[in-house]
Structure 1
Amino acid sequence: MIAIRPRGGWVRPVVLACLVMTVTSGCGLSAELDRERDPARTAVPFPAPSAVGTDGSAGLRIEPPELPSSAPSPSPSGAVAGRQGSGCPASGLRFGTGPVDAAMGLRAVTLTLTNCGKRPYAVDGYPDVVAVLGPEGARITGVRAVAGTDQVPMAPPDPGAKAFTLRPGERARAGLYWRMAAEEGSYLRVAPRAGQAVVTLPLPDPLDIGPRNTLGATAWVPAG
């Protein structure tokens, strides 16, 4: 190899060879100068960029977008009576139901009324079932709610209405009876008696009652 002496001094042959072969061999002048300065390779390489700063603080990050929470499911219109064990409504009266009892096509469920307020409540007559609602809150058409059980085949006799007082903490109960049908009800629109405020009562078990069916109610009696 012939050495070339430029104006600033001699350039080693290996440097000239590196310049000539840069494209084909990948060798660069900076690499050769690094080898000249640090032949033992003792220099520590520069750290790669990090998303976390040297003081432990977070650097630039791209966070995934926050997804909106699911919208609440629609509920039937009107006030909703608390389930058993919930807080006391402003009326001081809380409705509840037991599980549905089924036998030979006859269905029955116990309706309860608890005085969770601070004043006695006079009970006399039958619960007023205004409507039976489906899972989406639509009224099941053709369902007739009646006082007494005479119009429900195989239902037990109604004891009849007797007045009594429901003191704070006490409960009354009434029976609801119907014959099995295809459409299922998930809510009752009910009042303690006709003319009082109506609430929407969620049911723990569906009422397979409609359409075009009869729901018979017995009179309120003390639950003991």
Structure 2
Amino acid sequence: MRPATALVLCAALASTALLSGCGKETAGTAASPGATCASLAPLPDPAGRTWDDVRVISGKCGPSGAPSTGFEVTNTDQEPLTFTVTFSLVNGFGEAMDTITRTVEAVEPGQTVRRPLDAADGPGSARSYRARIMKVRAVPADGAPTGDGACPSSGVRITNDRGDAAMGLRVVGIHLTNCSTADYELNGYPALRLLGEDRKPVSGVRILRGTTAISTGIGGDAEPRPVTLRPGESAYANLAWRNTTTDGDPVDAPYAEVTAKPGAAPVTVTPELDLGTTGRLGVGPWTKAPAGEGAPQE
């Protein structure tokens, strides 16, 4: 399986690396790696620690210079990207002990950024877990959620939740929050373009208005109504599908370009659509979220 775009992502692993002592996350370039991940060198390539162009490297990522664990991303695309990387932490017997996710925001074209992987236990921990890359997602930085709370230039944040699954039925919410200082108007359905692992368009999927054809009672079968979002208010639209697999090749679309309304700029989110061979995705209308209820965490 290939990573999300033409990129190089490197997980920095010491041979017996502790996930502690990595200090504050620090960005750098290939020529100037930054204080927290110095003296990087290739390691042997054991099974389970590669991801296409991902290579394993080791370094002294802690402020004390002790061996520790970090990772590196290089954006080889033509636009700034925000990377989200999921790691599995395994012990010396190869048993998965935990899963962690790290986000690297707004990596410029050609830029390399190195970050540590900190452990909750802190310095002196006896935990000696290794990190394995499980998943890499990269979306255009413009419109992507930002950790510092900055509002995108569009004036809205668009995200997806983790969704719900039961007996082959999947439901994921697309959430839009007005982070500007003016009202934001919605009416109708978000427009979607499904993208594969390589962020290229996926074909052969019918996008339906409403979710009734997929299942009833899941919050996407009402008629669309005008929605006015004041600053700080949110709206959502449910996506529904079944992941049944029969004849043919199953379709996976980890990414979706969401256009909130005509004329709006598309924003790429990661709903992780495992559509099976059903070839259908139902999209509910924009619905105003109850007062005080913002977009949930992904």
TM-score scaled by length of structure 2: 0.46
- The question of 1:72 aligning with 2:50 is answered no
Alpha-carbon separation, structure 2, partners of 1:164 and 1:217: 17
Cα-Cα RMSD: 3.0
Alpha-carbon separation, structure 2, partners of 1:65 and 1:217: 47
- Where does residue 144 of structure 1 map in the other structure? 206
Give 1:179 shift.
Answer: 1.2
Give 1:84 shift.
Answer: 6.7
What secondary structure, in the 3-state scheme, does the structure 2 residue paired with 1:117 have? coil
CA distance 1:65–1:217, change in 2 (3 Å):
closer
- The question of 1:90 aligning with 2:153 is answered yes
Matched-pair contact (CA < 8 Å) for 1:108–1:176: yes
Give 1:175 shift.
Answer: 0.6
Deviations 1:91-120 (A, max 9, x none): 101101111211121111011000011110
Deviations 1:71-102 (A, max 9, x none): 33656786753137553111101101111211
CA distance 1:143–1:168, change in 2 (3 Å):
same
- Where does residue 165 of structure 2 map in the other structure? 102
CA distance 1:87–1:144, change in 2 (3 Å):
farther
- The question of 1:163 aligning with 2:226 is answered yes
- The question of 1:186 aligning with 2:248 is answered no
- Where does residue 288 of structure 2 map in the other structure? 222
Higher helix share: 1
Contiguous gaps of at least 5 residues in structure 2: 1-38, 43-71, 82-137, 245-249, 291-298
TM-score scaled by length of structure 1: 0.60
What secondary structure, in the 3-state scheme, does the structure 2 residue paired with 1:197 have? coil
Q: Which moved more, 1:82-91 or 1:118-127?
A: 82-91
CA distance 1:197–1:114, change in 2 (3 Å):
same
Identity of aligned residues (%): 35
Alpha-carbon separation, structure 2, partners of 1:199 and 1:115: 14
Picking from 242, 252, 265, the partner of 1:197 is 265
Where does 1:49-68 land on structure 2 (aligned, <5 Å)?
none
Q: Which moved more, 1:152-161 or 1:134-143?
A: 152-161
Contiguous gaps of at least 5 residues in structure 1: 1-63
- Where does residue 123 of structure 1 map in the other structure? 186
Matched-pair contact (CA < 8 Å) for 1:106–1:154: no
Which one has a bigger Cα radius of gyration?
Answer: 1
Matched-pair contact (CA < 8 Å) for 1:142–1:210: no
Corresponding letter in the other structure for 1:163: P
Alpha-carbon separation, structure 2, partners of 1:65 and 1:96: 35
Alpha-carbon separation, structure 2, partners of 1:211 and 1:81: 31
Corresponding letter in the other structure for 2:75: P
Q: Which moved more, 1:110-119 or 1:150-159?
A: 150-159
Q: How many residues align?
A: 158
CA distance 1:221–1:176, change in 2 (3 Å):
same
Matched-pair contact (CA < 8 Å) for 1:151–1:214: no
